[in-house]
Structure 1
Amino acid sequence: MGQTGKRLFQYAMQYKKTIAIALILLILSICAELVGPFVAKRMIDQNILGIEKTWYEVNEAADYSVAYQGKHYVREDRLEAGADTAQLKAVRVLQVERAYYFIDENISEAAGKRQVLDGMLTITNTAAGESKQYAAQKLNASQLFQFYKPEFPELLQLAGIYMALLVVAALFAYGQRIMLQTSANRIVRKMRNDVYAHTQRLPINYYDNLAAGQVVSRITNDTEAIRELYVGVLANFFTGALYMAAIFTALFILDYRLALFSLPLIPILIVWIIVYRKYAASYNRVIRAKLSEINAMINESIQGMPIIQAFRRQRKMTAEFEEINEQYFKHQNKMLNLNSITSHNLVNVVRNVLFLVVIWVFWGSSLSTVLTVGILYAYIDYMNRMFAPIVGIVNQLSNLETARVSAERVFKLMDEDGIEVATGSLPRYKGEVKFEKVYFAYKDDEYVLKNINLHARQGETVALVGHTGSGKSSIMNLLFRFYDSPNGVISVDGRDIRDIPKQLLRQHMGIVLQDPFLFTGTIASNISLDNPAITHEMVVKALKDVGAYEMFNQLPGGIDAPVLEKGSTFSAGQRQLISFARALAYNPAILILDEATASIDTETEAIIQSALEVLKQGRTTFVIAHRLSTIRAADQILVLDRGAIVERGNHEQLMELQGKYYAMYQLQLGAAVQTA
């Protein structure tokens, strides 16, 4: 996964202690679980199939001895140490189909096809081309029980050990899963916090080219896919890798030939993963991109629903959504087909073919003499245990690719140049603002501001007027450093604003936009923005200063009345008053009113204009306005046309000039008269 994988690993290493403990628990769980087949092998070969070993007749009853027809017999592996078997009579107990037979003589070679007819046991060795016959006595249930009875204590003991191992393995597995998933959740929590924090540091121009829904998708959907990487994918890959390593170790201990025969599974799995990732990567990139577009379109549709319904664009919007959704659906189906082809069904086919080949090669040859039923049982048990994590790995391949693509998208966002949040504070400046030979373009060589020169002294009110697109808001964007101009100098109190951290520069600036934004909360919290430095008394004072306190205090809950998303339950004028009080509560040295009275009725505008006469003292105020009647008292009026200041002066001076300002004023005055 290259650089992306390295960064994901770095996030994981922040919780390496918990992950290390989880892996230790996983290893202990695997060890406890993989001892089980060895215990089962001993139970089968020693305690169950051990009945076919050679038995010796002894003179008297002893430990592990069996009484049969008045005589006592002990199995060869249960004889006392040092016993001379050459002096003892040997007998055998052999299974033929579902019955057991007692042979009152030793059989040196019991391998071959067995058949009993008229009390005679025939053993045919197909490979040697010979057969032998022995007198055989069929054992009834009680007699057979006597031969098995000495093994019951050990069988029960081994069964208890087997169950205890399963319980211990389950406890360790539970512990490692809890710790690993807890670590994964912490990793993704940290990543999501980092991504969100970085979105707060990104410059405003980044969001000019990226829909809000796409950013939301990266913070939510993509980080959730990465969480699945740590919770599901890596857990399965770690578990699978450790299981496979442990099982192959156990297989070499069990029988090296079976282990060597199974080794090709590893390169097959590696090739499998490489081929899958080759096709899945391209599909997932489209899927994640389309999912972001769907989120963006839904977000945009919800915000613009009044316009969509007012202009009857429902069908058009639905058609556009269905087109994006159809592309998402097609690529989802491609991933579904790929997953179906490479799913656990194919793993099961590989496993079953392997079992058939092993039985054919080993059990059907002379090697069957050294490969006992217990060994084959343990081998099949181990292979079933190994294929379970292989299935887990294969099933997580789609999540792996989804997480990888999602991580690329998240890290791409985090790699965008951001602005580090400055600490500390800046002394409140006087508010003297200068623009000197400032040029600015949002796109290369497409200048929206040309040779801007202005000087706003402390306490002055400067109005910016002009047609739409003349550059009024761009001047304020530069002053706030939402954008930086490479040409010219903008200074506050004689200091170049590029030398001041953006957060500290804005500390003593306030802005009121034409379309104010309100957050979910209360009226008071929207004014203070939960800044502990803004007290309840300061909020009340700000509302009183703009003449809105009585208006909001009459609402249920007063100024603690709830505000829904974007302040949808308030009128445009009420939202603007809250925004205006917010700016004043922060007591800015520089106040910007960007079309602040455009959506306010005449009565509310009169309230604000009255408040401004008091509040602008000692504060530099920039006013962007279309209604020229609201800026007649401004100390300076700057008339912009196509990004350049073409006229400047106060109202009387500009009226005497009879230029663009005069024409605009007369036009608005005439329109007002006609309306009246």
Structure 2
Amino acid sequence: MARRTKDQKAVSPHLKRFKYTQDQAIDKPFNWQQMRRLLQYVRPYSKTLLPLAVLAMLVSTIVRLVVPILIGKVVIDVAIEDKNMNLLIQLVVGIAILYLLSYVGNALRIRWVNILGQNVIYDLRKHLFSHVQRLSHRFFDSKSAGSILVRIMNDINSLQELFTNGIINLLMDVVTLIGIICILLFLSPKLALAIMVILPIMFFISTKLRKRIRRSWQQVRIQQSRLNSHLNESIQGIRITQSFSQERENTEYFDGVNTDNFESWRNATKKSAMFRPFVEMSNAIGTVILISYGAYLIIQTPANGGIEVGTFVTFAFFLGMFWEPISRLGQMYNQLLMAMAASERIFEFLDEQPNVEEKSDAVVLDDIKGHIEFDHVQFAYDEERIALHDINLEMKQGQTVALVGHTGSGKSTIANLISRFYDPTKGAVKIDGHDLRDVTLNSVRQQISVVLQDTFIFSGTIIENIRFGRPDASDEEVMEAAKVVGADDFIQRLANGYETEVEERGNILSAGERQLLSFARALLADPKIIILDEATSSIDTETEMKIQEALRKLLHGRTAIIIAHRLSTIREADNIFVLEHGKILEQGSHEELMQLRGEYFDLVKTQFQMLDAM
């Protein structure tokens, strides 16, 4: 399919939505403070791998600087001039030994630098992933999965070249340049200054390119993030795409995003490629100056400021070496700009702080009883969307409480506040009299199990998925939990039983089977509080009847919060809260609410009328 033009992309509603809901450019000036922050990840290796790599680099660099001097000033001006064959042979052997030493130094440098770089990349990726896992739900509400994947994978991968080669190569090239300049100025200041006259011009032009190159590589990262976001969305929603026969539209949508990614790479590489030809042109100018002015100085006598042939040859050697590190430094600068663009995006995530923060003096709740209280709680996802209005409710220890109401009434928000995925905007959520903001997150969440409508099954075996609720559980305990919730029957029918490998998101299992596994996972964790958020919606009526008794055992002695649209599943709840637009309209048992003949009565009546009509 041909790429879409810019005009075509401009009128695409999908692309408009896509462009303005993903990452935006980070407009920060290039600064060494950020580079120093990036180099902090090298610090753990500053006493081991780094000094070894630097030592190996210095050995090979010193050899490269010594050899041209030996060739020009000793081999040509002394050995050949005096026709001293013994000295010449000794010099040839000595130079061969020096080159061998340089080879060993380079081999060791490459080995140690690569080990150093891989360790730094490992540490950085681990740090970023660990940090992202600790962020609050608000962060994931505003960031797509593709955007997060790009930061952890692509952006960190783009730093790999910097850490495996860039840092040491930068140091090597700087040492080489300084050494060459000092040697050339010592041998012939006039010829050295003549050759280096073009350096200020190079510096001026290169600085003009910096901002443009940096911004272009930043755009590459942004477009990659958008591309990955769309790929993730397309793969996750492939069934919806195919069911509505939208494959062609989705392909066109992808083509537009892919074209943006292609154009960003093309633009960045085009700008980056401008530096190397300029360096090569400078090399050509320097060579012309060396030949013309150097030949003139050879003709002159030493008393009149002339130079010897050996000095000219040494200059020729160093001239080739002089522009090489400058060219590499240009490439290194491009690499540095790519690293800066990536590191800005990485540090943007690392600078994110959890909205749900844990106090330094937070209390550890070792043994939760399960008494829950909402004290004048108000919560808003944003300023324009208030989800809960001044909620006051109490869930006593061991009670089974149901939350009912229309979609968007605030049921799941209450469950999220109990698990402290969010903090209330006003008021307090308390467990056993403790404000959740005053206790540690782990001590609360380890004693709460949540079973969601959209059950997530990890890649791995059945037994590993159930054990996710308590990693130290024995096989017998896992199987017992599965039997209690009625999952053992279908597990035993699988080819390898509990050792059956499930694919990503458990696609080999039915929706009901995945839900049963989540029940077993929750039971195995032995929580004091259980939250069932539409947990039986994916289970057929026959299966639901089988697990009702298992749920009674599961919920016995525990505080349970059940969110359900199927009101038949909450008849036996001790207390039912009816919510509407973030407010509690009614509360009481099933019988009490039916006698009240209010909102709950209407919901039950409507639902049974729908069942009768089917």
Matched to 1:642, the amino acid is H
Post-superposition Cα deviations, 1:343-398, rounded to whole Å, max 9, x if no partner, equal: 2x322221121121222223135754332222111111011112222221222332
Deviation at 1:202, TM superposition (A): 0.5
Aligned residue in 1 for 2:559: 620
**CA separation of 1:608 and 1:438: change in aligned 2, threshold 3 A:** same
**CA separation of 1:20 and 1:269: change in aligned 2, threshold 3 A:** farther
Q: Secondary structure at the match of 1:14?
A: helix
**CA separation of 1:602 and 1:189: change in aligned 2, threshold 3 A:** same
Post-superposition Cα deviations, 1:445-466, rounded to whole Å, max 9, x if no partner, equal: 5211112111111111101111
Aligned positions, number: 575
Alignment of 1:107-506 (within 5 A): 151-264=84-197, 266-343=199-276, 345-364=277-296, 368-369=300-301, 370-418=306-354, 426-506=365-445
Deviation at 1:272, TM superposition (A): 4.5
Post-superposition Cα deviations, 1:210-249, rounded to whole Å, max 9, x if no partner, equal: 1001101000100111122222332332121011011122
On the 8 A contact 1:362/1:368 being kept in 2, the answer is: no
Q: Distance in 2 between matches of 1:290 and 1:29?
A: 41
**CA separation of 1:3 and 1:364: change in aligned 2, threshold 3 A:** closer
What 5-or-longer segments of structure 1 have no aligned partner?
51-76, 78-147
Q: Secondary structure at the match of 1:630?
A: helix
Aligned residue in 1 for 2:23: none
Q: Match for 1:640 among 569, 579, 588?
A: 579
Aligned residue in 1 for 2:77: 45
Aligned residue in 2 for 1:560: 499
On the 8 A contact 1:527/1:585 being kept in 2, the answer is: yes
Q: Distance in 1 between matches of 2:297 and 2:32?
A: 48
Deviation at 1:516, TM superposition (A): 0.3
**CA separation of 1:272 and 1:182: change in aligned 2, threshold 3 A:** farther
Deviation at 1:266, TM superposition (A): 4.8
On the 8 A contact 1:276/1:397 being kept in 2, the answer is: no
Aligned residue in 2 for 1:30: 61
The reply on whether 1:13 has 2:43 as its aligned counterpart is yes
- Higher RCO structure (Cα 8 Å, ≥6 apart): 2
Q: Secondary structure at the match of 2:494?
A: coil
Deviation at 1:315, TM superposition (A): 2.0
Q: Secondary structure at the match of 1:238?
A: helix
The reply on whether 1:601 has 2:540 as its aligned counterpart is yes
Matched to 1:14, the amino acid is P
Deviation at 1:179, TM superposition (A): 1.5
TM-score norm. by structure 1 comes to: 0.82
Post-superposition Cα deviations, 1:14-34, rounded to whole Å, max 9, x if no partner, equal: 211221221122112111121
Q: Secondary structure at the match of 2:446?
A: helix
Q: Distance in 2 between matches of 1:480 and 1:34?
A: 66
On the 8 A contact 1:480/1:505 being kept in 2, the answer is: yes
On the 8 A contact 1:43/1:158 being kept in 2, the answer is: yes
Identical pairs, percent: 35
**CA separation of 1:188 and 1:424: change in aligned 2, threshold 3 A:** farther
Q: Secondary structure at the match of 1:593?
A: strand
Deviation at 1:640, TM superposition (A): 0.6
Q: Distance in 1 between matches of 2:200 and 2:51?
A: 28
Matched to 1:44, the amino acid is I
**CA separation of 1:164 and 1:248: change in aligned 2, threshold 3 A:** same
Deviation at 1:519, TM superposition (A): 0.7
**CA separation of 1:582 and 1:421: change in aligned 2, threshold 3 A:** farther
Deviation at 1:639, TM superposition (A): 0.7
**CA separation of 1:247 and 1:265: change in aligned 2, threshold 3 A:** farther
Q: Secondary structure at the match of 1:458?
A: coil
Aligned residue in 2 for 1:125: none
Q: Distance in 1 between matches of 2:119 and 2:501?
A: 33
On the 8 A contact 1:222/1:407 being kept in 2, the answer is: yes
What RMSD in Å do the two structures reach over aligned CA positions? 1.9
Q: Secondary structure at the match of 1:364?
A: helix
Deviation at 1:653, TM superposition (A): 0.9
Deviation at 1:592, TM superposition (A): 0.5
Matched to 1:215, the amino acid is I
Post-superposition Cα deviations, 1:298-326, rounded to whole Å, max 9, x if no partner, equal: 01111111111111222222222222222
On the 8 A contact 2:419/2:444 being kept in 1, the answer is: yes
Deviation at 1:628, TM superposition (A): 0.5
Say which structure is richer in helix: 2
Return structure 1 stretches of 4+ with deviation > 6 angstroms: 420-425
On the 8 A contact 1:538/1:585 being kept in 2, the answer is: yes
Q: Distance in 2 between matches of 1:526 and 1:398?
A: 46
Matched to 1:31, the amino acid is I
Q: Distance in 2 between matches of 1:492 and 1:440?
A: 18
- Which has the higher mean CA deviation after the structures are superposed, 32-41 or 195-204? 32-41
Say which structure is richer in strand: 1
On the 8 A contact 1:426/1:507 being kept in 2, the answer is: no
Q: Distance in 1 between matches of 2:168 and 2:443?
A: 45
Aligned residue in 2 for 1:99: none
Q: Which has the larger radius of gyration?
A: 1
Deviation at 1:474, TM superposition (A): 0.5
Q: Distance in 2 between matches of 1:639 and 1:575?
A: 29
Q: Distance in 2 between matches of 1:366 and 1:36?
A: 22
Post-superposition Cα deviations, 1:616-650, rounded to whole Å, max 9, x if no partner, equal: 22101110000001111111111111111101111
Q: Secondary structure at the match of 1:317?
A: helix
Post-superposition Cα deviations, 1:561-581, rounded to whole Å, max 9, x if no partner, equal: 111110011000000000011
Q: Secondary structure at the match of 1:640?
A: strand
The reply on whether 1:522 has 2:461 as its aligned counterpart is yes
Q: Distance in 1 between matches of 2:538 and 2:545?
A: 13
